[in-house]
Amino acid sequence: MGQPTPARWPLLALLVLLPPAQPRVLSRAHCPEPCSCPPDGALRCPGPLAGLTRLSLTYLPIKVIPSQAFRGLNEVVKIEISQSDSLEKVEANAFDNLLHLSEILIQNTKNLASIEPGAFTNLPRLKYLSICNTGLQQLPDVTKIFSSEFNFILEICDNLHITTIPGNAFQGMNNESITLKLYGNGFEEIQSHAFNGTTLISLELKENEHLKKMHNGAFRGATGPSILDISSTKLQALPGYGLEPIQTLIATASYSLKKLPSREKFTNLLDAILTYPSHCCAFRNSPTKEQNFSFSIFENFSKQCESTARKPNNETLSKSRAYGHQQRRKDC
């Protein structure tokens, strides 16, 4: 076809300048309608905008999500903010009165150090809130969300600087039922009444590798959980109060948990996956006559549970469902 004519040169130059195979970060920066995203400034996405149900904001150059940032976006169902290292702060009432909003994701914003109290306010349809891999030092305030969705899922994960779950942390978030997926954070401690006022379907605390202390009254004021996962934590003990609702207990790689509360406290347990065979000791004695159906399920569990090694007497149970380090097992 010969040499490019001069008229073709500008097009070729443009193709060379826009590398489609390996887009650079800057070329991914995206400020969709109706937003404005001034570098080092505040995000504004004023509504209404008919038909806008999903807003995906990535590689934002902005520093702040201010109060009423999404005001008037009354059809929006999902807002996702991710891969934005410039973001430092989410102000009070940033997500306010968005009556159809069902999902909020804030992820991979490592310089996000502050979400002000009341940042999430009056979001009655909210069903999923995920805040992961940020620089937050405190659990974000979720107590003004007032969602009435069934099985609301709150995911707080990989926030290495959050050290505490304080009392009443989830009060007011949702009035029906919730799943808390709180994993991979910097938690060291869970305080008394942490789950007060919630109906907990499932509480996932796995991979909080520094989590050592769960206050004895952590479950006070809560209904549930049915499922509790404390795998890969440093918890040394479970709270003495509020274990009755637990149907499934998962505690793999829980090497600091040397002892479980007596099985009388687990009146509804159906299944347990544990670290040490010795954990089964708590469950070993055979149920007495007056114990009822839940205890017969419990006995069933115990039968699957027993220590693979030590059989101090003929009544002990035979098979192990206890995973983990047999060399570290303790005598019962």
- Cite the DSSP H helix spans in the chain: 9-17, 25-28, 293-305
Segment lying near ligand NAG (by CB under 6 A), choices 97-105, 137-145, 166-174, 272-280: 166-174
Both tokens assigned to 251:
């505690």
Q: What part of residues 78-137 is at the interface with ligand NAG (CB under 6 A)? A: none
Q: Which of positions 218-247 make contact with ligand NAG (CB under 6 A)?
A: 221
Report in angstroms how near the CB of residue 166 gets to ligand NAG at its nearest: 10
Gyration radius (Cα) of the chain, Å = 26
Instruction: Please select the residue that binds ligand NAG; options are 292, 308, 312, 325, rule is CB under 6 A.
Output: 292
Question: Is 148 among the residues that bind ligand NAG (CB under 6 A)?
Answer: yes
Nearer to ligand NAG (CB atom), residue 177 or residue 326? 177
Question: Letter for the amino acid at 26?
Answer: L
Rounded CA-CA distance 281/311 in Å is 11
CA dist 245 and 299 (Å) reads: 17
Asked if residue 262 binds ligand NAG (CB under 6 A), the reply is no
Q: How far is CA 128 from CA 149, 270, 291, in A?
A: 10, 28, 40
The minimum distance between CB 294 and ligand NAG, in angstroms, equals: 6
Total residues binding ligand NAG (CB under 6 A)? 17
Contacts (CB under 6 A) with ligand NAG, residues 169-198: 171, 175-176, 193, 196-197
What letter represents residue 177's amino acid?
S
Among 58, 137, 138, 267, binds ligand NAG (CB under 6 A): 267
Backbone angles phi, psi at 190, to 5 degrees: -120, 120
Q: Are 76 and 54 in contact (CB under 8 A)?
A: yes
Instruction: Report helix, strand or coil for 303.
Output: helix
Tell me: does residue 252 bind ligand NAG (CB under 6 A).
no
Do residues 270 and 297 make contact, with C-beta atoms less than 8 angstroms apart?
A: yes
Instruction: Give the nearest distance from C-beta 155 to ligand NAG in angstroms.
Output: 22
Q: Which of the ranges 8-16, 70-78, 106-114, 292-300 carries the binding residues for ligand NAG, by CB under 6 A? A: 292-300
Which of 300, 309, 328, 330 touches ligand NAG (CB under 6 A)? Answer: 300
Residue 39 C-beta: closest distance to ligand NAG, Å: 41
Cβ atoms of 128 and 102 closer than 8 Å: yes
Interface pick for ligand NAG out of 29, 31, 113, 297 (rule CB under 6 A)? 297
Query: Minimum distance from CB of 111 to ligand NAG (Å)?
Result: 33
Q: Is the alpha carbon torsion for 165, 167, 169, 170 positive or negative?
A: positive
**Nearest residue to 134 via CA among 65, 48, 76:** 65
Alpha-carbon distance of 322 to 274, in angstroms, equals 5
Return the beta strands (E) in 111-229 as ranges. 114-115, 120-121, 128-134, 152-157, 164-165, 178-183, 189-190, 200-204, 213-214, 227-229
Residue 95 or 301 having the CB closest to ligand NAG: 301
CB of 109 to ligand NAG, least distance (A): 31
Taking the least distance from each CB to ligand NAG, the nearer of 171 and 275 is 171
Contact stretch for ligand NAG (CB under 6 A) within 65-73, 78-86, 164-172, 319-327: 164-172
Least distance from ligand NAG to the Cβ atom of residue 221, Å: 4
Residues engaged in binding ligand NAG (CB under 6 A): 148, 167-168, 171, 175-176, 193, 196-197, 221, 267, 292, 294, 296-297, 300, 314
